[in-house]
Chains A and B, each alone.
Chain A
Amino acid sequence: MDRESLITTLGLLSQGRAQLVSKFTHQDKAIFGDMFRFERSPALMALAVDRFNVSWITHHYELFEKLDESASPEAAAAFKTCVLGLIQRLDQSREGDLSAEWAFVKSMIAEKKMILEAQFDFSNKDDVNYRKLVFAQDRERALFERAFEKAKEKLS
């Protein structure tokens, strides 16, 4: 990889980490809300953590979208590999968990992987792709809410 591509890729990953930390240090309303809402239910808390992780991984694509068109395809390919690496960590984070919640999260992860694999491409970088991703995020939010409701019903 050339030097510029490496700097670009490392920069994107660094921005991703900065955003991750800032969610905690700036008391992000959504995650701190979840921390209190689900404090008595480890299953729901795990689901909230997973939702946060899926959203953090998606944020990487948003960072990529902001890149200048002049960024190299090499940087795009390297960054895509890294984002898929983050997905893989999440996918392997609860090996052996047979719960319905984790099965749901696994399906979301698989879907996210498929969407993101097709997205990191400068030749393909247009509004249609971005809209697809936004739609996927809206759908994801709704499906997570449904999963929360189901898990809550199961617990009550």
Chain B
Amino acid sequence: MDKELQALILQCLVEHNTDPATRDKLATSITTRIAGHSKLADMKARLAILFEYEKNYLQLVKEFKEEIKFAGSIQEDLRKERAKFFSDTLKEVSTTLQASQVDPAVAATWLKDLVGSYTKSLDLSSGLIEEQTIDTIGKIRDDARAVVKDVDANAKT
């Protein structure tokens, strides 16, 4: 309980010649009510700021929804292509080489090189997607920082 506030209220009650028998109880009761009220007001103000943050973050997510979806879908496509290459394509190429009666050692040399070239191209694609994702994250982060600044500035005024 706020002792200072209680003392002030008590002083007021003395100045207004209230009944000394109930003065202390009255001062305690008024102090408790005022404190409760100011706590609620404080909480309301905090909640309003929090709500403002959340609202702006949700707006940000909405704004970047398409970008996030796009990055996710191209990454997924590439992941699927890589998996398909190792599970199906290589098998198909190997079968073709066998069916053509290419010497197994020769087939192994060409297959090894095919894997090297194919995966390098996939890695380069993956690198481009990563760059794009990092760019998008950077943009979201910058906008989020701006949101925090705006909400803080509004809360101070």
* Contact among A3, A10, A21, A31 with B89 in the assembled complex (CB-CB below 8 Å): A21
* Contact among A1, A20, A35, A82 with B114 in the assembled complex (CB-CB below 8 Å): A20
Main SS of chain A's interface residues? helix
Bound: A146/B74 CA distance, A: 44
User: Cβ of A49 and Cβ of B97 under 8 Å apart?
Assistant: no
Chain B residue with the shortest CB-CB distance to A50: B113
A73 interface residue, CB < 8 Å from B? no
Interface size on A, residues (CB 8 A): 33
Contacts of B128 in A (CB 8 A): 1, 6, 9-10, 78, 82
User: In A1-44, which residues have CB < 8 Å from any B CB?
Assistant: 1, 3, 6, 9-10, 13-14, 16-17, 20-21, 24-25, 27, 31-32, 35-36, 38-39, 42
User: Cβ of B102 and Cβ of A35 under 8 Å apart?
Assistant: yes
A102 interface residue, CB < 8 Å from B? no
Contacts of A38 in B (CB 8 A): 106
The 7 residue pairs across chains A and B that have the minimum distance between CB atoms: A24-B93, A82-B124, A89-B120, A39-B103, A35-B102, A85-B124, A13-B125
User: In A54-76, which residues have CB < 8 Å from any B CB?
Assistant: 56
A124 interface residue, CB < 8 Å from B? no
A129 interface residue, CB < 8 Å from B? no
Q: Which of B81, B96, B100, B120 neighbours the largest number of chain A CB atoms within 10 Å of its CB? A: B120
User: Cβ of B106 and Cβ of A35 under 8 Å apart?
Assistant: yes
Q: Which of B67, B92, B109, B124 neighbours the largest number of chain A CB atoms within 10 Å of its CB? A: B124
Bound: A3/B66 CA distance, A: 11
22 inter-chain pairs at a CB distance below 8 angstroms, sorted by A residue, are A1-B131, A1-B135, A3-B70, A17-B118, A17-B121, A20-B118, A20-B121, A21-B93, A21-B118, A24-B93, A25-B92, A35-B97, A35-B106, A35-B107, A35-B110, A38-B106, A45-B109, A49-B109, A56-B117, A78-B128, A85-B124, A89-B117
